A and B are shown apart, each in its own frame.
Chain A
Amino acid sequence: MTYDVCIVGSGAGAGPIAYELSKAGYKVLVLEKGPWYKRENMLKDEIAVGRRSSFTPRLDEEQHVLEEYEDGQWVGTPTLESGWDFWNGSIVGGSSNLMSGYFHRLKPKDFKLKSSYENIENSNVVDWPISYEDLEPYYTKVESIVGVSGHAKKHTFLEPRSTKDFPYEPTGEHVISSWLDKACEKLNYESIPTPRAILSRDEKDRKGCEYAGYCGSYGCASGAKGSAREALLNKALKTGNCTILPHSFVKRLHSDEKSVTSIEYLDKEGKSHQVQAKRYVLAAQAIESSRLLLNSKNKHFKKGLANNSNQVGKNLVFSSGGVGQGAFYYEDFTSQEAEALKVVGPFVNRSLQDWYELEEGKKKGATIDFLFEHNNAVARATEAMSSGDLVWGDALRKKVLYNFEKRRVFTFEIFCDWTPHDDCFVSVDEKVKDKWGMPVAKVRIGAHPYDLSVGEAIKGYAEKVLEEMGARDVYSSISESPPQNLQAGGCRFGDDPRSSVLDKNCKAHELNNLYVTDGSFMPTGGSVPFTWTIYANSFRVADAMIKDLQGQT
């Protein structure tokens, strides 16, 4: 059988394509490398989720090679050796199953970074080939179809909206949110409600949030979290036009000089299959999509598919920034306040974007999101061993109990732009292979010093908020290590085939039936997590693809 569309991957970049195309009557096949967990598998099992690789491949079967700058040269280390697991969410629905769902839109200027701000030396910053106005209707579409809850409070950097407010009211908030608001008022900061991809009320096939207290890194047992699986793929399946095959590893794409001709994948038993489709979509997350193209060399594309301009894998971006924290000691509060502080479940839902621009028209800034320390108990207990000398017996027990009994830790995350540059890219390592014998992705993860300076300039503001709220032991750190769950770029879109892989509709310049719809298309990532933008863009591309298919038929 020839499908209309074959999608590699099943996360945020894949879901909207599967949803829209199958609804429009097209036959869609989704190939997912990992297993297909259902809602009933999404348990609060810290051993399976927090301590074992249950959502990601085993490193002895599939790994990366990460290149870091050490002693004046770039040194590649396989992650099996380093223990730095660079996977996230290799399951049906992808890492959207495991996100916290902090949903921020990009701002209009994020689409034209190059022309809006100062030049950054040794960078590859470019303007996007589309504008905020092009994407706005799709951000709005995500709000209703995926489900985004929140309140569009007016603030300096609120992006233009075509609707007045979110279709879902905010999720339940913890008492600490009001403390944070008061602190910000005193400091003259604009605290804003954080939009969340979490349903605050029941929908047809999904329940509203049950406030189990474990959101980020865990799957959702109520269906409230707007994962691609819950919000889109389950609905696509109901059309009868969508087929999802888990445990299906795509080894390579075959092509002639103009078109992809088939996809070769291996099933759970390692048996090889070929699939033909009218359109092929890569949505395996930025690093893996680039890797697949680079591993799909043939006589027409000797450097990898769609890579005749040497752009595949280049300009990989992550989210730059850092984290910080402070501790609220119960003894510093009234017993009533302390009891309120201990409540687990409701969300903090607060962000700051006062410094989204550090200097108007010159320097970009960041978004700060606030949250409680994750409730994972092994991690919290282990902290007792990370401070000071290694102790055991009663001394250790006291330290563990102290962490649980005396205080609650409150944290913040700073999201800055990751400046694209020549030392952050994906290639493949011909010497290190996965269990199927394919070269693994080699990722050079150099950070641009400019980004570190932005994080450093921002962190003090967040620390002040915590101090004003009454937290102690406040500190933060800005890191040049990339977070593997916030990756984009590698196949950026643009009007010039010499400096981009995809056209403005995310179709490969060099192949007439290949699209890439995960975060790979993004030339820059904005100072926010990417998921909402990936969803929105994928809905936009779905519209373009339908027109493309209609033109053909």
Chain B
Amino acid sequence: MPNTSLTRRLFIGGSLAIGVGAFVLIRKDKKKIDVSLFAKDTQVLLHTAYHLFPHSKQAPSAKDLHISSYLVFVLQDERILKEDRDYLLKGAFWFEESAFEMFDRSFLQLNKEEKEELLQDVATYKWGENFIYTTMTYIFEALVSAPVYGSNTDEIGWKWLSHNPGFPQPKTQKEISYDL
């Protein structure tokens, strides 16, 4: 079976590359960039998800899926290596830096067209492509995971895709855990 987990080597490689760039950027203009708020990275991540999987009449959006609950679950899920969880937020941090670089404003203050322009731009970089890919992967998890994980409420993701999730389904989040 193909390995569908995150390709760490790629993500780290991309992350390191932008990390050097980010450091230079911060040194050049510390005041413009708000890098201190952990919550802001989470907000940027969340709003990126909203933009990547927006509202539609035909299909559930990231908001409909309660992606905020799911991302909180992901960021606290110890079954994911801390390094991977941290990189998700670091990706958001670098994404925010790019927003300042391009528009001199936070991603959260951009309109729909500006957000799209920014995403198109960062997608041309390896780190940006990996950040978008990773965020989308977690949106897909939210789309089709068991509702017990806080998303896919009323099974809207399964219904949209006519997906048969098999049985029995979990009733709590920790029924399969390596430290059981």
Which residues of A pack against B, CB within 8 Å? 34-37, 40-41, 43-60, 80-85, 210, 212-214, 216-218, 221, 344, 374-379, 381-382, 385, 390, 392-394, 396-397, 400-401, 404-405
Contact B146 A382 (CB under 8 A): no
- What bracket does the count of chain B residues touching chain A fall in? 35 or more
Give me 8 other A-B pairs in contact (C-beta within 8 A), A55-B178, A82-B9, A83-B7 excluded.
A44-B168, A44-B169, A46-B144, A83-B8, A212-B167, A221-B167, A378-B140, A401-B161
| A53 to B136 Cα, complex, angstroms | 20
* Contact partners of B144 in chain A: CB under 8 A: 46, 377-378, 381
| A404 to B77 Cα, complex, angstroms | 28
Give the Cβ gap from B137 to chain A, nearest Cβ, in Å.
6
* B21 interfacial contact with A, CB 8 Å: no
- Which of A46, A53, A82, A382 interacts with B165 by CB under 8 Å? A46
Among listed B22-30, B39-47, B50-58, B93-101, interface-contacting one: B50-58
26 A-B residue pairs with Cβ-Cβ distance under 8 Å, sorted by A, are A34-B178, A37-B180, A41-B175, A41-B180, A43-B170, A44-B166, A46-B144, A48-B177, A51-B5, A52-B77, A58-B79, A58-B81, A58-B178, A59-B81, A81-B9, A81-B12, A83-B5, A212-B166, A214-B166, A217-B1, A375-B164, A378-B141, A393-B53, A397-B59, A401-B160, A404-B162
Contact A378 B137 (CB under 8 A): yes
| A396 to B164 Cα, complex, angstroms | 21
* Contact partners of A46 in chain B: CB under 8 A: 144-146, 165
Closest Cβ neighbor of A80 among chain B residues? B8
Give the Cβ gap from B78 to chain A, nearest Cβ, in Å.
9
| A250 to B177 Cα, complex, angstroms | 21
Known A81-B9, A390-B123; judge A396-B141 contact (CB<8 A). no
| A400 to B168 Cα, complex, angstroms | 25
Known A48-B176, A58-B81, A381-B143; judge A396-B136 contact (CB<8 A). yes
Known A213-B166, A397-B53; judge A390-B141 contact (CB<8 A). no
* B149 interfacial contact with A, CB 8 Å: yes
Contact A221 B180 (CB under 8 A): no
| A377 to B1 Cα, complex, angstroms | 14
| A59 to B77 Cα, complex, angstroms | 15
* Contact partners of A85 in chain B: CB under 8 A: 3, 5
| A390 to B123 Cα, complex, angstroms | 8
* Contact partners of B103 in chain A: CB under 8 A: none
* B80 interfacial contact with A, CB 8 Å: yes
| A310 to B3 Cα, complex, angstroms | 34
- Which of A44, A48, A382, A400 interacts with B167 by CB under 8 Å? A44
Contact A375 B176 (CB under 8 A): no
Shortest 8 CB-CB distances between A and B: which pairs? A44-B166, A83-B8, A377-B144, A52-B79, A48-B176, A381-B140, A214-B166, A392-B52
* Contact partners of B53 in chain A: CB under 8 A: 392-393, 396-397
| A34 to B176 Cα, complex, angstroms | 12
* Contact partners of A396 in chain B: CB under 8 A: 52-53, 136
Contact A44 B176 (CB under 8 A): no
Contact B168 A382 (CB under 8 A): no
* B163 interfacial contact with A, CB 8 Å: yes
* B89 interfacial contact with A, CB 8 Å: no
| A44 to B146 Cα, complex, angstroms | 9
Closest Cβ neighbor of B124 among chain A residues? A390
Closest Cβ neighbor of A323 among chain B residues? B2
| A47 to B77 Cα, complex, angstroms | 11
Contact B165 A393 (CB under 8 A): no
Known A43-B170, A58-B81, A379-B4; judge A53-B178 contact (CB<8 A). yes
- Which of B81, B140, B176 interacts with A49 by CB under 8 Å? B176
| A49 to B5 Cα, complex, angstroms | 11
* Contact partners of B176 in chain A: CB under 8 A: 37, 41, 43, 45, 48-49, 54-55
* B179 interfacial contact with A, CB 8 Å: yes
| A37 to B179 Cα, complex, angstroms | 10
| A378 to B3 Cα, complex, angstroms | 12
Residue interface mask B55-83, A partner, CB < 8 A = 1: 01011000000000000000001011111
* Contact partners of B166 in chain A: CB under 8 A: 44, 212-214, 218, 375
Contact A48 B175 (CB under 8 A): yes
Contact B146 A47 (CB under 8 A): yes
Known A43-B169, A392-B136; judge A378-B5 contact (CB<8 A). no
| A58 to B123 Cα, complex, angstroms | 30
Known A82-B9, A392-B136; judge A43-B168 contact (CB<8 A). yes
* Contact partners of A344 in chain B: CB under 8 A: 164
* Contact partners of A377 in chain B: CB under 8 A: 140, 143-144, 158, 161, 163, 165
* B119 interfacial contact with A, CB 8 Å: yes
* B132 interfacial contact with A, CB 8 Å: yes
Give the Cβ gap from B116 to chain A, nearest Cβ, in Å.
8
| A374 to B59 Cα, complex, angstroms | 23
* Contact partners of A56 in chain B: CB under 8 A: 178
* Contact partners of B137 in chain A: CB under 8 A: 378, 382, 385
Contact A382 B178 (CB under 8 A): no
Give the Cβ gap from B113 to chain A, nearest Cβ, in Å.
13
* Contact partners of B77 in chain A: CB under 8 A: 52
Contact B178 A213 (CB under 8 A): no
